[in-house]
Copies of this chain bind each other. A is one copy, B any other.
Amino acid sequence: MSETLFSAAKYFETQLPPPNLEQDVSRVRSFVARHAQEGRKVVLVTSGGTTVPLELNVVRFLDNFSAGTRGATSAEYFLEAGYAVIFMHRQFSLQPFSRHYSHSTHPFLDFLEVDPADTDGHQISVTTSEQAQLLNVLRTYKKVHQTGVLHTLSFVTVNDYLWLLRAVSQELSVLGRNALFYLAAAVSDFFLPRQKMSEHKIQSGKGSLHIEMDQVPKILKPLLETDPDLLIPKSRTALSRYGHQVVIGNDLHRRKYEVVFVSPIKSTAISLDDTEPSNFNEMWIRIDLQGDPSHEIEQDIVAELVTRHRAWIRDAKTP
């Protein structure tokens, strides 16, 4: 444990903070202060992958796969549950609300129409079949912005992420048990210390490329796992190592249909289909979709967490 702490301390001693850290933190501070005053619970949602630059003038980097769907979707359900949300995401990863209109899969230009006959200024209109969903998304989006319950900030590298996470965590500490950490970002296990980076692009034409990286210090580490047999043992190790209340694990290929809540006491699987969850689970919650194909598992993840969070706050008040 002391070795772990030393290595985190050494990390922040030797690696430089991102240039806009102070500005980012001061905005988070105001956001937290306002919601603390209004008695609102605040969740930090991290989302998307982190990069490990291989050069100071970044051309190449190591990356972790993550479009940011889990984080962006969960953020919407936390807002719906009355939380104020700090959405800390990888630049260009999906964001709450706009995630419904990915330029690749559901481009908004496809459902806007130009009406040449209309002369009253309403020359652009929305395709009928898309109006209901867009109205729904748009109304929520506007309300969230008007009430100021969503604060967004972004990172690119694992170094940005680590500095931001540490600073934002410190700001959230004033909230006590009203703060919740939902770390859905896919964080690199390795980094290349800036002292080892070359200033310019590594020249090719000299045979094969060798990269040697250092391990990222274990400050707080989310879990993303592709080998189902490793999932729960690794979650338990993470729990005892980092002092989380719950680790939410998922198999990469089943992540939209099944997750596992691993706590020190028990593990619970939540699933949207009939596939029996892997071993080790003491409980299995099978969600009835009631014929709704657009049901998202994040709704159930957030509902479960909100219940547990409420109990956790209540426990503190019980003498």
Contact = CB atoms under 8 A, between A and B. Distances in A.
A226 interface: yes
Interface in A56-77: 57-65, 67
B214 A190 contact: no
Interface in A162-185: none
Contacts of A200: 226-227
Contacts of A109: 97-98, 101, 137-138, 141
Contacts of A124: 125-126, 131, 134-135, 138
A103 interface: yes
Interface in A245-266: 252-253
Copies of this chain, count: 2
Given A109-B138, A215-B208, A224 B59 contact: yes
Given A61-B65, A65-B61, A208 B204 contact: no
A51 interface: yes
B142 A57 contact: no
A213 interface: yes
15 contacts: A57-B253, A58-B65, A60-B65, A62-B62, A91-B104, A92-B103, A101-B103, A122-B122, A124-B125, A124-B131, A205-B215, A208-B212, A208-B215, A210-B211, A211-B211
A128 B224 CA distance: 45
A225 B215 CA distance: 29
Given A60-B65, A114-B139, A124-B134, 8 more contacts: A57-B253, A60-B63, A94-B103, A98-B108, A104-B154, A112-B138, A121-B131, A124-B138
A117 interface: no
Interface in A223-254: 224-227, 252-253
Nearest to A216: B204
A42 interface: no
Interface residues of A, number: 66
Given A64-B60, A97-B109, A109-B97, A209 B208 contact: no
A122 B126 CA distance: 8
Contacts of A215: 204-205, 207-209
A24 interface: no
A91 B102 CA distance: 11
5 tightest Cβ-Cβ pairs between the two chains A and B: A189-B204, A57-B226, A98-B103, A190-B209, A63-B63
A107 interface: yes
Contacts of A62: 54, 60-63
Contacts of A135: 114, 123-124
A292 to B, nearest CB: 24
A271 interface: no
